[in-house]
Chain A
């Protein structure tokens, strides 16, 4: 699965580069507008190491941001799963916060807490948390009637049991959503770095943009793509393992 993801990314990336080179050829553009292949390779040799560590830096914030957003989404999803007043209040608040564009909120965040690690983390979490929340809310608010019925009529149903049943029954869906949200968390971190941070690949891309250096941007995109593919692949593998452990080791009696 991991190799397939990387391979698929490479195909997309190569096609992207080829497309740019065709445009360059058709319109006779200079290397300033679209760099030639040699310039891309030369630039890669110069900045690969630096950018690799920048992407790792960004990824570390991404992972942490994603963990926070998963916790937030589960907290809100579990708290807001009931159709009670408090449940609907939590849902409305969660939806409204997301209605504000993050690029408008970002400057306020940076003024309040500066352009360091915390700002990047907060923005990354905010960007990737909403899709997670929607899925978690959807899952948590939908009863698994066949199973839950038994516990309800025997009087054994507790809130954490209800949550466990719903998570287990929707594990594949949750794994896919969490894996998919990694891309959003990465995008969120890069946006934060792009707007106002002093580290990470988003910050490096901004510097490259100042200098209109498309070759550097292409290298950055390559590294972001590869590393996010690996990360997503790992998440999927972990999800698969959790699922098989839950169903095999407990022989379906985990609940």
Chain B
């Protein structure tokens, strides 16, 4: 009887110790999990090669390593990172320079912490059987596609102003995502994102033995900044350590994704999320993206080109897209990482 009782006590002690250990393990894990900081990062566009670095950082656990639990959300024309940051649904996001400047003009409290694209991917594609555009006046007499209300309209208007081209000298056609008017040769010069749509169209036309050129306004001194990483002023002021951790992880992802040595890994990561394009296209898109993100080996990814931002602001002011100067330089914070 006594022996049985003693056995029961030992068993109870063992169960108690087991439960205690389990409890400690669970609470320990919960503590580790709780230490991770939850963040939402809203991209500007869908998951494809143009956001290679963002998804690379996520897939390779760079955010996790920094103690961050980042939810990388794909964007679309209807999803606006600035709105989401103001509404508290995202802490970081990607926005184009015109969005940022327009928002600052309306007193949004946001700051730019890194400039992802050093060269604007917004360029115009045209067939090589047409004369090459060597000077801006070569645009005269052509049928040019423009997305009314889009930043390509602002850029092209600046091109016209710089060249002294009036709207009567060219034919303007409003464009959408559908390339048919360009493919059917109804429009000569078509706006594309050089690293995504540009690659697809070039490939498509190459199959029909047609070759293309790209018209890049930056080659003619018109620098209009594209995508940058933004956050709220409050975040920079109150949680600078999180901003630094996030940006360091993100740019580490971009550096790795743009490194030709990691090309296969990067393409595999993109492939998991981008089902729209094929392997060949994605590879070419990655090469094109590399040139826009890191045009020279000496360029550090994320570098904010203040002069280009100022020029963008001036263009928008001239085009009456904003009422007053927003002193953009005060909203550009180059975080050292």
Interface residues of A (CB under 8 A from B): 27, 29-33, 35, 39, 107, 110-111, 115, 195-196, 198, 203, 206-212
Top 6 A-B residue pairs of the complex, sorted by shortest distance between their CB atoms: A207-B149, A210-B149, A31-B106, A32-B106, A30-B108, A32-B103
Docked Cα-Cα span, A31 to B109, in Å, equals: 11
- B77/A30 in contact, CB under 8 A: no
* Complex: chain B residue closest to A213, CB-CB: B102
B130 at the interface (CB under 8 A from A): no
Q: Is B178 part of the contact surface with A, judged by Cβ < 8 Å?
A: yes
Which chain A residue shows the least CB distance to B323?
A42
Bound complex: CA of A121 vs CA of B150, how far in Å? 26
Pick the residue among B86, B150, B174 that contacts A30 (CB under 8 A). B86
Of B77, B109, B174, B178, which is within 8 A of A198 by CB?
B174
**Chain B residue at smallest Cβ distance from A195:** B176
Chain B residue numbers with a CB within 8 Å of A32 are 82-83, 86, 102-103, 105-108
CA distance in complex: A111, B108 (Å):
40
Closest to B321 in A: A211
Residues of A within 8 A of B178 (CB): 107, 110-111, 196
Count, chain B residues at interface, CB 8 A: 25
**CA A156 to CA B107, docked complex, whole Å:** 76
Q: Find out whether the CB atom of B87 lies under 8 angstroms from the CB atom of A29.
A: yes
Set B83, B109, B180: member contacting A212, Cβ < 8 A: B83
Residues of B within 8 A of A195 (CB): 176
Nearest CB on A from B297, distance (A): 36
Per-residue contact bits, chain B 37-52, to A (CB 8 Å; 1 contact, 0 not): 0000000000000000
Contact flags B78-91 to A (C-beta < 8 A → 1, else 0): 10101100111000
Interface residues of B in 47-85 (CB under 8 A from A): 77-78, 80, 82-83
Q: Which of A30, A115, A195, A198 counts the most chain B CB atoms within 10 A?
A: A30
B157 sits at the interface (CB 8 A): no
A-B contact list, 26 entries, CB within 8 Å: A27-B87, A30-B106, A30-B108, A31-B107, A32-B82, A32-B102, A32-B103, A32-B107, A32-B108, A33-B86, A33-B87, A33-B108, A39-B106, A107-B178, A111-B180, A196-B176, A198-B148, A208-B149, A209-B77, A209-B78, A210-B77, A211-B102, A211-B321, A212-B80, A212-B82, A212-B102
Question: Is the Cβ of B150 less than 8 Å from the Cβ of A210?
Answer: yes
B147 within 8 A of A: yes
CB pair B180–A206 under 8 Å, yes or no, is no
B78 neighbours in A (Cβ, 8 Å): 209
| In the complex, chain B residues whose CB is within 8 Å of the CB of A206 | 149
Hey, which chain A residues are within 8 Å of B86, CB to CB? 27, 29-30, 32-33
Complex interface bits, B99-117 against A, C-beta within 8 A gives 1, otherwise 0: 1001101111100000000
B103 touches A212 (CB 8 A): yes
**Whose C-beta in chain A lies nearest to the C-beta of B100?**
A32
Known: A196-B178, A209-B78, A210-B149. 11 other contacts (CB 8 A): A31-B106, A31-B108, A32-B102, A32-B107, A33-B87, A115-B176, A207-B148, A211-B102, A211-B321, A212-B82, A212-B83
Mask, B314-337, CB within 8 Å of A = 1, is 000000010000000000000000
Complexed CA–CA distance, A211 and B80 (Å): 10
State whether A30 touches B107 (Cβ < 8 A): yes
**Closest CB-CB distance, A221 to chain B, in whole Å?**
16
B149's closest neighbor in chain A, by CB?
Answer: A207
B107 / chain A contacts, CB cutoff of 8 Å:
30-32
Note all chain B residues with C-beta closer than 8 A to A211.
102, 149, 321
**Mask: chain B, 147-158; 1 = CB below 8 Å from A; 0 = not:** 111100000000
Chain A residues with CB under 8 Å of B149's CB are 206-211
- In the complex, A195 Cα to B176 Cα: how many Å? 8
Q: How far is the CA of A186 from the CA of B148 in the complex (A)?
A: 23
Task: Determine how close the nearest CB of chain B comes to the CB of A85; give it in whole angstroms.
Answer: 40
> What distance in Å separates the Cβ of A244 from its nearest Cβ neighbour in chain B?
47
How far does the Cβ of B175 sit from chain A's closest Cβ, in whole Å? 10
**Chain B residues whose C-beta falls within 8 Å of the C-beta of A107 in the assembled complex:** 178
Cβ of B227 to closest chain A Cβ, rounded Å: 15
Return A65 CB to nearest CB of chain B, in Å: 21
Chain A residues in 8 Å Cβ range of B180? 111
Residue of A nearest to B186 (CB): A114
Taking CB atoms, residues of chain B closer than 8 Å to A198 are 148, 174
For A196, the chain B residues whose CB sits under 8 A away are 176, 178
CB-based nearest A residue for B105: A32
